[in-house]
Structure 1
Amino acid sequence: MDPSPPGAATPLRADAARNHRRIVEAAAEAFESDGPDVPLEEIARRAGLGVATLYRRFRTREALVRAVVEELFAAEVEPTADVDTGDPWADLVGALSRALDVIAGRTVILKLARDSAAYDVDTVHRYGRALGRLLDRARDAGVVRPELTVRDLSAVLIMAITIARHGDPGGADRRRYLGLLTDGLRPAPEPLPPAGPESS
């Protein structure tokens, strides 16, 4: 089994791979609990490693944030779209709901990623392709608007997480508003207005 972490260019030795994962996991927890400015020394302490080891693996905070985001997408977001129960509508809505739950629990990390442009294009595209497969199946089954795109699904996720109030640990608001939004994905007599150009 390849011990390389997601996004690694070359395989790491087993001990280096373990240290990488410990640092990334500790960073993810520290960012969410202590905020985006948590010192790297605190992340190293949580990982049970010396700060010198952290700096050998990640020379900048941005590099560490990128690794955390890659791991988040690979381990938590991408699997939400890996489903095929034979019910294309339930699969699509279920995937959006699970992704929304992940995003709601990782708001600090995702804000850090946006602020530091730490999103890896390949990582985001992999998730987009997975959503696209669910959308294609739903479109072929006639249970969604034929003009829908993956960009529309991304907008649904963003709107749902934006309008859900904070302090909703059970996710009742998220499920309510996602239900309202996903109803708009169903076939309708009139097509949606055309979308504007995507930003580069």
Structure 2
Amino acid sequence: MPEIRRRSDAVRNRARIVAAAVSAFDEVGPQLRLDDLAERAGVGVATVYRLFGSRDGLVQAAFETVFGAEIEPLAQAAREAPDPATGLRDVLGATLERVAAHRGLFRAARETGAVGVDIAERYLRDLDDVLRAAQRAGAVRTDVALRDVAAVLVMVLAVVRDGDPDGADRRRYLSLLLDGLRPGAPALPPPAPGGWEPPVPPPRGECSPVG
């Protein structure tokens, strides 16, 4: 029984610390100190180290929690949209909103290397399904690839800034770039050769975009 209780306490403490970390990184940014985080979570800093191993481990747990709870479901929902073109536009817009809302956490995740390819791939697999459905419906040019859609996210996030809290620039430039996905324009030049890793881009200002 004592062992079960310790495990239960550890699960609760972990969840409370991660929730506090998400909130704190959003407010303070990547310079957040673990001592301050532990105080917010109502635990000792030793508990943070015991559960996460290091500050980087905590950042990764917070990032994976946000990505899994707030961003991955967007692409999953877009696959079920009756109109795939609307689904594609909506998932990109909503993704930009969530990344911008957590720009402090995303910057910390980038700096610590917590922005892993594996978690991005789950999101991008669903996004690729949405893109292909929009292409089959004739709403997106056929020479557009998933890497191009990911690049749209990176480019729009480059204009994210604290002076635009309502996201007017995000909406403006997303609309501009989405126009380039529509059929009817001349063929695109070929992409650069070599491999490509899917980005999970943090925004500029709080975060510099993935190169």
Give the structure-1-normalised TM-score.
0.88
Residue 144 of structure 2 corresponds to: 148
2:25 to 31, 36, 59: 31
Q: Choose between structure 1 and 2 for higher RCO, CA contacts under 8 A separated by at least 6 residues.
A: 2
Q: Among 51, 60, 65, which residue is 1:66 paired with?
A: 60
SS of 2:158's equivalent in the other structure is helix
Equivalent of 2:181, from 178, 181, 185? 185
Query: Given that residues 160 and 169 in structure 2 are in contact (C-alpha distance below 8 angstroms), is that contact kept between their aligned partners in structure 1?
Result: yes
Match of 2:38 in 1: 44
Change (3 A) 1:164 1:60: closer
User: Which residue of 118, 125, 129 maps to 1:129?
Assistant: 125
Amino acid at match of 1:184: G
Which residue does 2:135 correspond to in 1?
139
- Among the aligned pairs, what percent are the same residue? 46
Q: 168, 172, 195: which one pairs with 2:168? A: 172
- Aligned residues: CA RMSD: 1.7
Range 163-172 or range 30-39, more displaced: 163-172
What residue number does 2:96 align with?
Answer: 100
CA shift, 1:39, in A, is 1.4
Shift of 1:164: 4.1
**How high is the TM-score relative to the length of structure 2?**
0.83
What is the alpha-carbon distance in structure 1 between the residues aligned to residue 99 and residue 166 of structure 2? 14
Other structure's SS at 1:99 match:
helix
Deviates more, 1:176-185 or 1:50-59: 50-59
AA matched with 1:190: P
Runs of at least 4 residues off by over 4 Å: none
